Amino acid sequence: MAQNGSHVTATGCAIYSNSTTPDSLLVSDTSVITSPSICSGGGYKGSSSNFTTMPQTDCPVLADPLASRPLPTVGSTCDYTNLTITGKTVSLLPGTYCGGLTVTGGATVNLQPGVYIINNGNLTVNTGSSFIGANVGFFLTGKNSTLSFTDTSTIDITAPASGMMAGLLIWEDASTSGSGKSHTIGSNNARNLLGTLYFPLGHLVVTSPNPVAAQSDYTIIVADHLDLTASPNLVLNSNYANSNIPVPAGVGPSLGAVLDR
């Protein structure tokens, strides 16, 4: 769903919605989806001014292209518990963050390469804070794990180039998460989100006032729902050859950029 003047700019990749409802793709007011291929398993709502390419309808329902990927291993112990970083600059290491991770009060977090298991808690960056790291992956596991990048945060992260989360930047664990949880990107400076964002049961809500992921070589989204409000511009680049971050099998050049179930 795109409303309130929101934009999805995917000039080199496809938009694919698996939903078979009449409003599988819902684009209203002055919102625009830009893509050479837009396909809906059901119907769509919107006019020719809302789509640069009019959607095809009744498209085949596709299986989740990442469903068979082995889950990262979640250890039985915690490296950190209920960690909150406030107003300082720190370097964080990969590991298991039980109870979540909160970055607030203008803090700057420099992330060392590796996998960050966010176990049964929120990953939150807010209040003028910065979250920066190359070759990092975030695995959200447990019923209380959600993502929140709020409006005054700065986010600059790229997915791992190898290992169990190669090409996956943020991954919601469908085996523990439960359905319908909201994950929010509201950052006014989230220009680099390089990799795949995978929310098989969750709702990804984009509310940023500025372009999101516009400086990424590529960004792929696979989500149960994708909602854009408050006039964001979600940019889905497809410059795969420019990056050493691999594209997960089943998405990218072989499939559309967005799977909305």
Q: Which residues is 156 bridged to in the sheet?
A: 132, 192
Q: How confident is the model at residue 25 (pLDDT cuts 50, 70, 90)?
A: very high
β-partners of residue 63 are none
Give residue 255's pLDDT. Answer: 52
pLDDT one-digit tens code per residue, 97-129: 999 999 999 999 999 999 999 999 999 999 999
Q: Which phi and psi angles does 111 have, rounded to 5°?
A: -95, 125
Gap between the Cα atoms of 20 and 258, Å rounded: 15
For residues 157 and 111, the answer to whether their CB atoms sit within 8 Å is: yes
Distances (CA, A) of 134 to 53, 60, 110, 170: 35, 36, 9, 13
**What is the Cα–Cα distance from 176 to 120, expressed in whole angstroms?**
9
Distance CA 139, CA 76 (A): 15
Reported residue count of the chain is: 261
Burial of 122: CB neighbours in 10 Å, binned 0-12, 13-18, 19+ = middle
Summarize pLDDT for 172-199 with one digit per residue, the tens.
999 987 788 999 999 999 999 999 999 9
Q: Which residues, in sequence order, are bridge partners of residue 122?
A: 100
Prediction pTM value: 0.94
